[in-house]
Amino acid sequence: MEVAPADEDNAQWGAYSQNVTGTNTEIGYGRRNTKIIVNFLGTNESNRAAQLCNTKSNGGTYGWFLPSQDELSELCKIKRQYGIPSLVGAAYWSSSQNSTSTIYAWTQDFSDGTQYHLSKYNTLRVRAVRAF
């Protein structure tokens, strides 16, 4: 997995109080989750976390997505072990909606490694990744 060199704009997750069915927390699902979220939001919402990652073009590279909860967890472990200086000690959105409530999505705090769900209405950091 490749991590984008910088954060996208801070953004809301979107789809507040709406059930975006089909997102998964596991490794390998971030790209799929991102497509599900982008399709769900359509043109009703803009500049949301998944949309920012989906439209990213970094130096002509495409295929960026918002990582799943478990993908973010692995990035956090790598940051803590080897360092990824551009990932600051703050909370980042994942592409995984909380399965028990339509109000929340999962986040990863890179300062202490905790994962928690937060209201999708909040504005958090967004970091795109891609896999090949």
pLDDT tens for 30-51 read 999 999 999 999 999 999 999 9
Domain hosting 34: range is 2-130
Specify the pLDDT at position 116.
94
Cβ distance 24 to 96 under 8 Å?
yes
- Which residues neighbour 58 within 8 Å (Cβ) at sequence distance 6 or greater? 4, 5, 64, 128
Q: Compute the distance between CA of residue 109 and CA of residue 95 in angstroms, rounded to an integer.
A: 14
Rounded Cα distance between 66 and 125, Å, is 11
Q: Percent of the chain at pLDDT above 90?
A: 70
| Cα–Cα distance, 48 to 31 (Å, whole number) | 15
Given the DSSP bridges, would you call strands 129-130 and 2-3 parallel, antiparallel or unpaired? antiparallel
Chain centre distance of CA 29: 11
Domain count, the chain: 1
Residue 85 pLDDT > 80, yes or no?
A: no
Q: How far apart are CA 132 and CA 119, in angstroms?
A: 31
